Amino acid sequence: MTAATTHARFLIVGPQGSGKGTQGVVVASAFGIPQVATGDIFRANVAGGTELGKRVQAIIEAGDLVPDELTSELVRDRLSQPDAASGFLLDGYPRNRGQVADLDAFLGSRGEQLDAVIELAVPRAESIARLRQRAIEQGRTDDTEEVISNRLAIYERETAPILDDYRARDLVVRIDGVGSLDEVTARIFEALAVRGFAAAHPGTPATA
């Protein structure tokens, strides 16, 4: 089984600072599927002036969080586009069990389901250290350890539990997220290959 002969529908999950955004780009490129990240979807719809984008913009400008229902609607719209017909890698969605149910319903209506959930496991202290370093490098003085710890607490409370649901379906591929970019990427490809998903271009650089 290879990416060329089967669809690959993946989800990558990990706490802030786990490197999932970077790894998501690499994995999606290697499998020839789009990386579907909620932040990108929000920005694209707002920039494009779509009806969904106008609703998102109004919510964000009011200082509110985009509700699950609208987030799911935006993701469904993105996954319905032609480039996602042969697979995708979700990043940042689903974030909670309500969104898992929405995704299940959408994929089920198309006779589809996720093939694997890539969990990047990184100790809390490591995540905090990475995020603090990133904040220093980017001059983000508002990213204090307290703020970072709060973000991680939200992940642990709302997002981490979805992994239990996916483990019950035997979908979770747990990856040690500590190490160099290339080391972690190699672990992901090896674990997916064991499940029958071989990347068409595993040597794709992170800058692709």
Helices (H), 49-96: 51-61, 68-79
Question: Is there a binding annotation on residue 151?
Answer: yes
Question: Is there a binding annotation on residue 93?
Answer: yes
Question: Is there a binding annotation on residue 134?
Answer: yes
Question: Is there a binding annotation on residue 11?
Answer: no
Question: Is there a binding annotation on residue 95?
Answer: yes
Question: Is there a binding annotation on residue 20?
Answer: yes
Question: Is there a binding annotation on residue 176?
Answer: no
| Three-state secondary-structure class, residue 173 | strand
Question: Is there a binding annotation on residue 19?
Answer: yes
Question: Is there a binding annotation on residue 130?
Answer: no
Question: Is there a binding annotation on residue 80?
Answer: no
Question: Is there a binding annotation on residue 155?
Answer: no
Question: Is there a binding annotation on residue 48?
Answer: no
Question: Is there a binding annotation on residue 43?
Answer: yes
- Residues belonging to the binding site for AMP are 38, 43, 64-66, 92-95, 99, 140, 151
Provide the annotated binding site for ATP: 17-22, 134, 179
Binding residues: 17-22, 38, 43, 64-66, 92-95, 99, 134, 140, 151, 179
